A and B are shown apart, each in its own frame.
Chain A
Amino acid sequence: MGMLKHVLLAAALAFSVNASAQVKLTMWSHWAAEKIKRDYVEDAIKRFEAANPGVKIEAQWYEKTALYAALKTALRAGTAPDLFYAEPDQVEYMENGLLLDLSAVNWAAIEPWAKEIWSYKGKPYGMPLEAATVELYYNKKLLTDLGIKVPANLQLDAQGLTDLAKRARAKNITPMSLGVGDRPYPGAYLVHEALLKKLGLQEYDALLKGKLSWSDARVVETLRVVRSWTDAGLLPTTFTTLKLGEAHGYFHTNPGAVTMLVGSWYTSRAFNPPDKGGQPANFPLGIMKFPAMPGAACNECRTLSVGGSYVANAATKHPKQAIAFLNSFANPEAATRWLEGVLVQTGIKADYSKVSGPHAGYFRELGATSAGAKFYFGQPIQVMQGKPKEVFTQVFNNAFPAGTISVEEAVKQMNAAYGKH
């Protein structure tokens, strides 16, 4: 009996020591349906757990909309996970002191612009895993069939895009695959990239922040150019209901479009095997720059945005371990693994020339479109807040490119959203 008592006591002690040594971090993340990103993060978790035997990370995967709604409730109720997915436009997290200050992370390994995007009142709050430029992908074969040659500087002019649209329509081919059925931003690419080039970095920033009127002659002129593209039949007839994933298939498989204007994360889906939604093997994918605008202040300007990132809950009981996990991404090896595995740019400093594998050539082409570029950081819906953001989404993501409202009405709606009449 005495022996049994000692054995039980020893077992209980061993269990309690083990339990106290084991730290469990919970993590909620987007990318439930994006296997290669999920694989990357799960691999990072395994590496971290191997290097930190006392720490376990339990990840739960969501789709973005469901994740955001769940987090808003959980953060308010104090039941949010230790780590979670976020994007830099979610300033409300920082405004309300809900995120852990990540100053202790090795920021020397992170691109300065990515740190800047995630900084609030001088402190950084997010690990910027995913970064993306807006790219104009095209089907090399279809473009050649239309008799159009991409210039040496990889940039058509505005009239060139109109010409492309007309030639494609004449052959009953959709010039550009784009759909806004389930996202608040793809339709706006056309407008914001055109405006950024026309106005240049500072004036464009002023426009998005309500310091420049949407009635400005340059803005109106640019909107008329965009309207001339859509009037030429640039977009699919299903533009308003076509979902993002469907738009990818529309471009590379069925029915096939000449171009697709999309974030450079296109390849994280397109480079999957065809039976998992990827583009066909040997698809002749090309990349060119967004067309140059007439009388533009900065035709080399383009949007670079930070997307999927991870943050730590300010209320976590394990801040050191949470920061340590996020810090495990802050090194060139993690960046290279991201590039090779996920095939999308990252906010972590990386040497793109070191990327190997079947898609190394793609990264060289991608680099060529950004050569000499000046970047504006963030899409309009990441810069705008409240009503201007809502109106911009309704007007420029959907109604204006769909041709259901005029240039004048679009300008009026935006000015009203900023309280200008």
Chain B
Amino acid sequence: MIRSSVDRQPWGAILAFLLPAFTVYTAFTAYPVLRTFWNSFHKVLPRSEEFVGAENYAALAQDELFWRAVRNTFTWACVSPLAEVGIGLVLAMALYARVPGMRFFRIAWFTPVLMSYVVVGIIWVWIYNYDWGAANALLRALGLGALVQAWIGDPKLALPSLIFITTWMWSGFNMVVLLAALHSLPSEVVEAAELDNCGWGAKLWYVIVPLIKPTLLNLLVLSFIGKMKIFDLVWITTKGGPLWSTETVSTYVYKRAFEWTSFDLGYPSTIAAVWFVIVLSAVLTLTWLFRTRERLEY
């Protein structure tokens, strides 16, 4: 009698290995997500739960503050990845080209990512202080006193100022990943380009970037997802103000869940559910757009 390959699977071992991870995933990821969707159709109070149908979704569609938070978050998630990855690539190229003091620069540029958003936020609130912060002090020292600003106090400047912080913080991370990608490039391809008298610019654009494209795209998507969820930095520095100019969807969900005088978790769940769908769709779209059509062969 011939036993099928299915019968030969070691189901006991498979279950033993999968069950812990499956249990943790179900309890801490799948259930909260499903429960959030469930809550979004209810008014959820401490001692009662009332089905309200699509009422929360209808209210959300009319919620100007939510849409302002969406605009801010999307702006951040679109601008930041390009800036971080772009600067990270330039820094990585500088180290790849063995600039003088590269050991120092490698550490200095990477250090910001080792700090938590809380520490970074506090440091930058000081840097942005109007009277004695380093940013305005530098401008005054350079004779550019007319450019002194309330960087995170002015609604027009607050969001760009926060985007600058995340760019400063994460460029070093992108640099390290890209530097690893550069070092893994096949030397013969780069050398062939050099033999063809290819300049640095052309070599970067026509040879290096295509070769490290998968890494670049992964970094862009990772950064995009990170910014779509950003909370800590905003909470430490501006709490979404002034005038909601730095409100992100995460800070708005928190405010609606814990700071508005209501115990209802239904509406905050609706925001979270809608945002989950938006982020998921955006990531799937990016992945589809960035998919590598042809495999690179070295």
Shortest Cβ-Cβ A-B pairs, 6 listed: A240-B153, A399-B243, A237-B130, A398-B242, A76-B46, A238-B130
Contact in complex: B131, A404 (CB < 8 Å):
no
A390 at the interface (CB under 8 A from B): yes
Contacts of B45 in A (CB 8 A): 96
Q: Collect the chain B residues with CB atoms within 8 Å of residue A223's CB.
A: none
Using an 8 Å CB-CB cutoff, how does the interface string of B259-276 with A read, 1 for contact, 0 for none?
111110000000000000
Selecting from A67-75, A103-111, A209-217, A225-233, the interface stretch reads: A67-75
Please list 25 pairs of residues, one from A and one from B, whose beta carbons are closer than 8 Å in the complex, sorted by A's number: A68-B259, A72-B257, A72-B258, A89-B261, A90-B261, A96-B46, A97-B47, A181-B125, A237-B131, A240-B152, A240-B154, A240-B241, A241-B128, A241-B150, A241-B153, A386-B261, A390-B255, A390-B260, A398-B241, A399-B242, A402-B150, A402-B242, A404-B242, A404-B243, A405-B243
The docked-state distance in angstroms from the alpha carbon of A387 to that of B66 is 12
Q: What's the least CB distance linking A315 to chain B, in Å?
A: 10
The yes or no answer to A92 lying at the interface (CB within 8 A) is yes
Contact A92:B262 (CB < 8 A) given known A238-B129, A394-B242: yes
- A399 and B154 alpha carbons, distance in the complex (Å): 8
CA distance A405 to B244 in the complex (A): 13
Q: Is A239 an interface residue (CB 8 A)?
A: yes
Contact present for B155 and A385 (CB under 8 Å) = no
Whether B261 and A402, one on each chain, are in contact in the complex, defined by CB atoms closer than 8 angstroms, is no
| Residue A334 lies at the interface, judged by CB distance under 8 Å to chain B | no
Contact A96 B263 (CB under 8 A): yes
Chain A residues within 8 Å of B125, by CB? 181, 241
Which of A97, A385, A398, A399 is in CB contact (< 8 Å) with B261?
A385
Shortest CB-to-CB span from A404 to chain B, Å, is 5
Residues of chain A at the chain B interface (Cβ within 8 Å): 68-69, 72, 75-76, 89-92, 95-98, 181, 236-241, 385-387, 389-390, 394-395, 398-399, 402, 404-405, 416
Tell me, yes or no, whether B65 is within 8 Å of chain A by CB: yes
What range describes how many residues of B lie at the interface?
20 to 34
Q: Give the one of A90, A92, A395 with max B CB within 10 A.
A: A92
Q: Chain A: which residue is nearest B148 at the CB level?
A: A237
The main secondary structure of chain B at its interface with chain A is loop
A76 close to B263 (CB less than 8 A): yes
Q: Tell me the residues in window 224-249 of chain B with beta carbons closer than 8 Å to chain A beta carbons.
A: 241-244
A237 to B145, alpha carbons, bound, how many Å? 14
Q: In the complex, which of the residues A72, A238, A394 contacts B263, with contact meaning CB atoms closer than 8 Å?
A: A72
Return the contact of A394 from the options B150, B153, B243 (Cβ within 8 A): B243
Q: A92-B263, A97-B47, A238-B131 are in contact. List 10 more A-B contacts (CB 8 A).
A: A96-B46, A239-B153, A386-B260, A395-B243, A398-B242, A399-B155, A402-B150, A402-B242, A404-B243, A405-B243
What chain B residues lie within 8 Å of A181 (beta carbons)?
125
CA distance in complex: A68, B260 (Å): 11
A281 to B160, CA, bound (A): 44
Closest Cβ neighbor of A384 among chain B residues: B261
What is the CA–CA distance of A89 and B260 in the complex, to the nearest angstrom?
11
With a cutoff of 8 Å between Cβ atoms, the chain B residues found around residue A72 in the complex are 257-258, 263
Select which of B65, B129, B260, B261 is within 8 A of A241 by beta carbon. B129
CB distance from B75 to the nearest CB of A (A): 19
| A386→B128 CA distance, assembly (Å) | 31
Contacts of A69 in B (CB 8 A): 258
Bound form: Cα–Cα A386–B255 in Å: 11
Closest to A405 in B: B243
CB contacts (< 8 Å) of B65 on chain A: these are 387, 390
A77 nearest CB neighbor, chain B only: B46
| Set of chain B residues within 8 Å of A91, measured between Cβ atoms | 261
Inside 8 A of B257's CB, which chain A residues have their CB? 72
